[in-house]
Structure 1
Amino acid sequence: MSHLSKRQFLKSMVGATALPTIQGPTLNQVFAQFANVPANTLAHQEGFWAAIRTAYPVTTDFIQLENGYYSLAAQPVLDSYLKHIQQVNAVSSYYMRTRQFNDKLESQTQLARLLGCSADELIITRNTTESLDTVIAGQNWKAGDEAVMAEQDYGAMLDMFRLQARRHGIVNKMISIPNHPQSDDELVNLYEKAITPKTRLLMVCHLVNITGQIMPIRQITEMAHKRNVEVIVDGAHAFGQLAFNISDLGGCDYYASSLHKWLGVPLGAGILYVRKDKIPGLWPMFGDSSFSDDNIRKLNHTGTHPVATDLAIQDAIRFHDSIGIERKQDRLRYLQRYWTDKVRNHPNIVLNTPSDPKRSCAIANVGIPKLKPAELSKALFEKYNIFTVAIDSPAVKGIRVTPHVYTTTAELDTFVKALKELAG
């Protein structure tokens, strides 16, 4: 390949990542038709969401109600992703040495826009676990230092805190979040009571992954900061699902999320936000002498990795923006309430998600006391072709149910019917 053709290739790469997502005329017409409809009204306009569903390669093998782990990318995003793989492969190391970091910076900048932070406060990681573990392991821990967290937090992060306890002698203070809190103050007070003069770091979920409960992050952050405690927020399920800005969270010190859950990026990308004044104090997990202590890129030494995923972030953001975060949020909340309201008062069904609509969005957890969570999940799949995930912990026993924007109310009707039959 000539030098000129390589340059032409690189130009086409940049051009491809700057073009609007390819969409069929029907979908474009639907967007235009509903452009001025308020998000909360559009949430139950089934025609609009049926058109959105056509943009996703939804399986017909079963009803997918476990979108929280990993939700499929829209077909236009997937098509672009595959094209990125082919284009990068065509010139291999030439792309890696000449365009890789500039293109990644563009993806980083667009993600920062969505989160509402500066691009020099955010890096692209592989997932939420890597992001949060970077912060937890990057603290300058001393024996006797304390950290506060909840038993409902994600297991990988709890494991990392346990590792720091083994390695540095820190003390982990565990609380338990009620499934049905009476107020924000109740939740804030739980965390506050666990704080002592030795507490250095508090971890809290923006949206609890096993129940779908949305936590009052601003109030918890402001309380912790008054006690000189830093706050790390696990936003694995919030980014791309909830309409929020980092400034809404009370000045939290660290925020992390995965992009393959609600933003619709192919597997392999996450984000880590570090408030600018907190960057110098974090130790990198991997050594890199290329950047100063106050440069967030010191935390982002990833080595050689699949760059097509980084490029596809821009495609996913365009598709995400075409729908709109308020529309997504309101539709997802509507879908969750659509099915939970139908079983909420059933004598043999237990909902482990708050009834207040403001305290949850897409995710909810439901159980049938006579069935173990694994038995319920298995019965739903084997008898009714509905895929969910079992959650069996001391505080939460049930299945996590996670619809997405491509989920139909007819599918949820099938799920409700199955749940009632199993409950008896």
Structure 2
Amino acid sequence: MNKRTFLKNLTFTGIASSASFEAFSKTIEAYTLISPVALAKDEDFWQKIRGGYKLKPDYINLENGYYCFLPTETLENYINHIREINYQGSWYFRTVQWENKDKAAARLAKAFGGSPDEIAITRNATESLDIIISGYPWQKGDEAIFALQDYGSIQNMFILASRRHGITNKIVSIPNHPKTDEEIVKIYEDAITPNTKLMMVSHMINITGQILPVRKICDMAHRHGVEVMLDGAHCIAHFDFKIEDLNCDYYACSLHKWLSVPLGAGLLYVKKDKINKIWPLLAPYELDHTNIKNLNHIGTHPVATDLAVNNALDYFEKIGAERKEERLRYLQLYWSDKVRNVPKINVNTPAEPSRSCGIANVGIEGLDPNEMAKILMEKHKIYTVGINYAGVVGCRITPNIYTSTEELDVFVNALKEMAKS
């Protein structure tokens, strides 16, 4: 098999040639004249989409935020990639692996923003963020800013940077129900001093699903000469945006979440003029690349996951970014609007549609979130996760596009029953 044929067969046409994907495509095409807003409420359509997933029937899964299941088309293509690479062996690794990875990164850039020279495929958002924090040119006395509500292990990486370099970490706290964008911007701005170098901001707070006004925060920070690293672990393929429109310096995401890439794929964006200032976490195969490859060498790795990025993008692009966003937001508001005014039920996510999408958090007064999650699972067969820190007391609820309103009705009734008792 020559290189050209291998690339064609392995990388880009596998999913499109499958009978199941053709059937999926026909389903989508039958609804092209329906607006995304209207389609979000069409349970018949989403039931057909649900048919493309193999779901465990033992419980209702409302914890898709940790890891989103792969649709059957992506899963089968991923398995085929593993088989094909095992068949090709060292030939694949010594000939086309980097070209294939570059093409997958270029597709990510086209779909979500940035140039191909600014986008790297990492293993997850944690790795992406740690590359920046650990490789930043810190000097003793420098300051970093992040929020109490940010992801815990990333906060710990800043603590390690403090121990190693003598930097100071300033921790702010974001309210669950801000009144305006400016209120949030001011919280970050008030923490800035002449020593502030880098600010980490969650594009979407993972424990509540609150979307922060990151463009306004980035613009403000840059006026003060401060760089901004955005934690977008839950954002890509969840709601529609382009990275370059955010005006950030660094961006990170986990592709195994809402893009439904197999485990072991994340995204790192570094603005082109910032690449050379970051010290690589691991030494590159060739020193002193002028693009993001200088930060992205991890040795031999599961290259089948890189190839599956293409399949996940095929599926996502067929669904459509706007359709998916509208469906996820509709599902979240469907259940949260039904319980926001119920006594003893606290929704810890803003009600305004622009401040959230598919993720929300809800608690019951007087009930520990872990106990709440246990009751939901054992009594109501609903799987979720308890959160009890940083001013957030409740369970994080993350449906996916295949979640039905019927399942959410079960959840709403369970919440109301728990609140009464």
Fold equivalence (TM over 0.5)? yes
| Counterparts of 1:78 and 1:393, CA distance in 2 | 35
More divergent stretch after superposition (187-196 vs 108-117): 108-117
What pairs with 1:144-293 in structure 2 (closer than 5 Å)? 144-249=141-246, 251-288=247-284, 290-292=286-288
Relative to structure 1, the CA distance from residue 32 to residue 272 in structure 2 (aligned partners, 3 Å threshold; closer, same or farther) is: same
What is the CA distance between 1:98 and its match in structure 2?
0.8
Letter in 2 for 1:266: P
Which residue among 400, 405, 408 is the counterpart of 1:409? 405
- What is the SS of the residue equivalent to 2:44? helix
TM-score, reference length from structure 1:
0.96
Contact 2:339–2:345 (CA under 8 A) maintained in structure 1: yes
RMSD: 1.5
Amino acid at match of 2:122: T
**1:55 matches 2:52:** yes
1:43 aligns with 2:40: yes
- Distance of 1:372 and 1:51 partners within structure 2: 37
Quick one: which of 114, 119, 122 aligns to 1:122? 119
Distance in 2 (CA, whole Å) between partners of 1:217 and 1:341 is: 25
Q: Give CA deviations for 1:324-377 in whole Å, capped at 9, x if unaligned.
A: 010000000000000001101011100100011110000000000121000000
Deviates more, 1:404-413 or 1:27-36: 27-36
Q: By how many angstroms is 1:248 displaced?
A: 2.4
For 1:273, give the aligned amino acid. Y
Q: What is the CA–CA distance in structure 2 between the aligned matches of 1:143 and 1:178, rounded to whole Å?
A: 31
1:164 and 1:21 map into 2 onto residues whose CA distance is: 48
TM-score in terms of structure 2 length: 0.97
1:24 and 1:145 map into 2 onto residues whose CA distance is: 52
Q: Distance in 1 between matches of 2:353 and 2:295?
A: 37
Match of 1:80 among 74, 77, 80: 77
Decide whether aligned partners of structure 1 residues 27 and 362 sit closer, same or farther in structure 2, where only a CA change above 3 A counts: same
CA deviations 1:242-297 (Å, max 9, x no partner) are: 11011321x20000000010001010000000000101111001122614253210
Instruction: Tell me the CA shift for residue 114 of structure 1.
Output: 1.2
For residue 252 of structure 1, what is the amino acid of its counterpart?
C
Kept after mapping to 1: 8 A contact 2:16/2:22:
no
Mark the runs of 5 or more structure 1 residues left unpaired by the alignment: none
**Distance of 1:289 and 1:60 partners within structure 2:** 46
Deviation at 1:13, TM superposition (A): 2.1
Cα-to-partner distance string for 1:71-108 (whole Å, 9 max, x where unaligned): 10100000000000000001211111111111111111
Give the match's secondary structure for 2:137.
coil
Distance, in Å, in 2 between the alignment partners of 1:157 and 1:265 is 22
Q: Is the 8 A contact 2:11 2:307 kept in 1?
A: no
The 1-side partners of 2:126 and 2:390 are apart by 22
Kindly indicate whether residue 355 of structure 2 is the aligned counterpart of residue 359 of structure 1.
Answer: yes
Q: How many residues align?
A: 420
2:301 equivalent to 1:308: no
